[in-house]
């Protein structure tokens, strides 16, 4: 077990790793940027799985009628059942899109980091357009479901 001063020296020199030497020197905050890319990728994976679960929920709602609930009228229940198949398909497609977009963004950003290119650009990229489309889908679904109730 290294002493506290040795740990501090290793932390100041670079990334902290298990073992006697750091894995990679922390030049230009490379460790922080790499961890940020990984967190963003994992957020995309989480969002993709949430969208897959919502897709399954909408598809199951389109297949099974709601017999036990008396809180909604049969017309509203039928309307939600009819909207279940298109919404489920949209959410399934968007889940695959988010997973693909996250993998692309991770690889693209990691390549740019290795080349030493800056991360901030002034133009609108396809990544932001894709994320805005997913946000629009979620917002429009929320409005649709709130209007039905």
**pLDDT value, residue 19:** 44
Identify the segments of the chain with pLDDT beneath 70: 1-28, 62-80, 119-123, 148-149
**pLDDT value, residue 112:** 83
Statement: the pTM of the whole predicted model exceeds 0.75: no
**pLDDT value, residue 20:** 44
**pLDDT value, residue 73:** 57
**pLDDT value, residue 31:** 74
Taking CA atoms, 84 is separated from 14, 72, 104, 141, 144, in Å, by 52, 16, 30, 11, 12
Instruction: Please list the residues that pair with 14 across neighbouring strands.
Output: 25
């Amino acid at each position: 077990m290294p002493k506290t001063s040795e740990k501090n020296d290793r932390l100041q020199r670079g990334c902290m790793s298990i073992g006697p030497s750091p894995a990679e020197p922390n030049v230009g905050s490379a460790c922080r940027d790499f961890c940020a890319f990984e967190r963003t990728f994992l957020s995309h994976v989480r969002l993709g799985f949430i969208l897959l679960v919502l897709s399954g929920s909408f598809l199951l709602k389109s297949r099974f009628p709601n017999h036990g609930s008396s809180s909604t009228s049969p017309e509203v229940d039928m309307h939600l059942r009819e909207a279940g198949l298109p919404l489920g398909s949209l959410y399934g497609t968007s889940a695959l899109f988010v997973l693909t977009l996250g993998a692309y963004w991770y690889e693209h950003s990691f390549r740019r980091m290795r080349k030493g290119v800056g991360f901030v650009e002034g133009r609108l990229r396809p990544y932001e357009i894709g994320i805005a489309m997913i946000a629009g889908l979620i917002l429009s679904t929320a409005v649709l479901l709130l209007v039905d109730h």
